[in-house]
Amino acid sequence: MAGRDPDAGPASGAGDGMRVAVVGGGAFGVTAAYDLAVAGADVTLFEKGDIGSGASGRAAGVLYDAYAEDIDAEMGARALERFRRLSGTGEFTFTECPYVMLAREGDDDLAEAIRGAAGRMRVHDRDVETLGGDELGERFPSLQVDDVAVAAVARNAGWTDPGSYVATVADLAASAGAEIRTDSEVAVSTAPPGVAVADEAPVTRRFDAVVVAAGAHTKRLLADAGIAVPLKPYRVQALVSGRAFDGPMWYDASAGAYARPHPAGLLAGDGTVPVEADPDEWDRDADDWFLADVGGTLRDRAGHDPDVERAWAGLCTATPDGDPLLGEVADGVLVAAGWQGHGFMRAPATGEAIARQVLGEREGVPQFAPGRFDGDEAFEISEGMAVDTDDGPEKGC
């Protein structure tokens, strides 16, 4: 629309006359519902449990735009812009904090991969610098750096409580006219697109578009509608320590663990279990090996002897190439899944992208189009935050 700020989100009135269902009440789902409702669409969001009770409620809340690929960097930057704009609304707060990714001495391939990735991030205008161990220690005295070979420091970064984002945006979506239905398990249909609610009469409600963003349940929901997508849920783990930590967010690529400040002290995690999990029957408690491993990394990297207040596991979803599935899988049926742990940090941007696609304002994100797969691909699950020694950081977590 002429004269409209392209960064303002979907245009008001663009959704007039449209009926849209959003399946899934996580960070992506509530963002899409809000943007669609603001644009004038008649939106109903269906959530199987409570809002934010799935992967978003168990996310780490680490936020940055330090990606080596252009579309990822663009999405990360747009998400951060929206996180910052929202900060101070309801209970949501965005806390500025630099993000450090490092490799240890002796991990030459990892060190070279981090240097190369940081260079590509700067090509995409990301605010990232490369430091040696001594420089890193001078910048961040809270970190122990004697064994650090190289670090990439991203300054456009921060952290938040994911649950507060989901709750705040869900409230905004409801205020904009969206109907938020919790405890509503549904089945999805195609031709025409529709949704049948499990505890209602066997009647399918028809919509102009259905957006399926049900996290680990997405694959089964779509399979029941005759749509195959290559998704695998897998467990990741985190803990909160009650001991104070005054430092940056950091990811030790050599150890495969990350940490960030937390109101209670420190949040740390990864603990990826690269085995496909049952989205209905999975262990929600952290494993003993994870607690031992991440505890050792915290002591080595930050002199932090964790006082574990709580520990948990969540589910991420993987795809064959580490990129999400974002777009149409049948006429009027769209999918948003396969984030490999990066779903929350990019939700403000990806939710906006799918809303624009539903409204016909944009054609979608070609790199994330589900049609690049047949749906029956065999693939191995890779750690979300791992550094690929050939191509730089992976897409996830």
Tens-digit pLDDT profile for residues 81-126:
999 999 999 999 999 999 999 999 999 999 999 999 999 999 999 9
Q: Output the pLDDT for position 158.
A: 98
268 pLDDT higher than 50: yes
* Residues 201/68, Cβ–Cβ less than 8 Å: no
Reported as a pLDDT band with limits 50, 70 and 90, residue 391 is very low
Q: Output the pLDDT for position 388.
A: 63
Domain-terminating residue out of 260, 284, 318: 318
* Residues 113/389, Cβ–Cβ less than 8 Å: yes
- CATH code assigned at 290: 3.30.9.10
Q: Are residues 310 and 241 in the same domain?
A: yes
1 pLDDT higher than 60: no
Host domain of residue 290: 98-158+232-318
Q: Are residues 151 and 194 in the same domain?
A: no
Domain-terminating residue out of 318, 347, 366: 318
CB contact set of 393 (below 8 Å; sequence gap of 6+): 67, 68, 101, 113, 117, 385, 386, 387
In-domain check, residue 1: no
Q: Output the pLDDT for position 383.
A: 73
Rounded to 5°, angle at Cα 91 from 85 and 96: 50
pLDDT average, residue stretch 361-387: 88
Q: Are residues 357 and 379 in the same domain?
A: yes
Whether the pTM exceeds 0.85: the reply is: yes
Q: Are residues 111 and 145 in the same domain?
A: yes
49-69 residue pLDDT tens: 999 999 998 999 999 999 999
- CATH code assigned at 221: 3.50.50.60
Prior bond of 248 cis (ω within 30°): no
72-89 residue pLDDT tens: 999 999 999 999 999 999
Percent of the chain residues topping a pLDDT of 90: 88
In-domain check, residue 7: no
In-domain check, residue 124: yes
Q: Are residues 302 and 350 in the same domain?
A: no
Q: Are residues 128 and 177 in the same domain?
A: no
Q: Output the pLDDT for position 15.
A: 79
Domain-terminating residue out of 288, 318, 348: 318
Q: Are residues 125 and 32 in the same domain?
A: no
